[in-house]
Amino acid sequence: MSDYLLPTYARYPVTFVKGQGCRLWDKEGKEYIDFASGIGVTSVGHAHPEWVAAVAQQAGQLTHTSNLYNTEPGEKLAARLCEIAGMRGAYFANSGAEANEGLIKLARKWSHDKYGVGRAAVLTLEGSFHGRTITTLAATGQEHFHKFFDPFTPGFRHVPAGDMAALERQGDDVCALLLEPIQGEGGVIPLDAAYVQQAAELCRARDWLLLMDEVQTGIGRTGEWFGFQTLGVKPDALSFAKGIAGGLPLGGILVNEKLFDVLGPGDHGSTFGGNPLCCAAALATLDILTSIVPQVTEKGDYIRGRIAEMNLPDIVCTRGRGLMIGIQIAGVSLRELNTKLLEAGLVGLTAGTDALRFLPPLIIENEDIDAGLTIFENIVKGERT
Ligand X SMILES: *Cc1c(COP(=O)(O)O)cnc(C)c1O
Is the bond preceding residue 151 a cis peptide, omega within 30 degrees?
Answer: yes
Nearer to ligand X among residue 6 and residue 330 (C-beta): 6
Report the chain's C-alpha Rg in angstroms.
21
Q: At closest approach, how far in Å is the CB of 133 from ligand X? A: 8
Nearer to ligand X among residue 21 and residue 186 (C-beta): 186
Residues 6+ apart with CB under 8 A from 94: 249, 250, 251, 270, 272, 273, 278
Nearer to ligand X among residue 277 and residue 373 (C-beta): 277
Q: At closest approach, how far in Å is the CB of 105 from ligand X? A: 15
Rounded (10°) CA dihedral 281, 286, 287, 293: 140
Q: At closest approach, how far in Å is the CB of 173 from ligand X? A: 24
Give the 3-state secondary structure of residue 273: coil
Residues that bind ligand X (CB under 6 A): 95-97, 100, 129-131, 180, 184-185, 213, 215-216, 241-242
Please give the C-alpha separations between residue 167 and each of 89, 160, 163, 209, 352, in angstroms, as whole numbers. Answer: 28, 9, 7, 13, 24
Going by C-alpha positions, the residue among 284, 265, 290, 289 that lies closest to residue 91 is 265
Contact of 230 with 220, CB cutoff 8 Å: no
Going by C-alpha positions, the residue among 101, 57, 102 that lies closest to residue 283 is 57
Q: At closest approach, how far in Å is the CB of 213 from ligand X? A: 5
What amino acid occupies position 265?
P
Residues 6+ apart with CB under 8 A from 127: 141, 142, 161, 183, 186, 187, 189, 352
Residues 6+ apart with CB under 8 A from 49: none
Angular region, 245: left φ>0, alpha ψ -120 to 50, beta rest = alpha
Nearer to ligand X among residue 219 and residue 380 (C-beta): 219
Q: At closest approach, how far in Å is the CB of 291 from ligand X? A: 25
Q: At closest approach, how far in Å is the CB of 246 from ligand X? A: 14
Nearer to ligand X among residue 95 and residue 318 (C-beta): 95
Nearer to ligand X among residue 89 and residue 218 (C-beta): 218
Nearer to ligand X among residue 124 and residue 328 (C-beta): 124
Q: At closest approach, how far in Å is the CB of 130 from ligand X? A: 5
Going by C-alpha positions, the residue among 117, 103, 241 that lies closest to residue 172 is 117
Nearer to ligand X among residue 242 and residue 340 (C-beta): 242
Which residue number is nearest to ligand X in terms of Cβ? 96
Q: How many residues does the chain have?
A: 385
Q: At closest approach, how far in Å is the CB of 266 from ligand X? A: 24
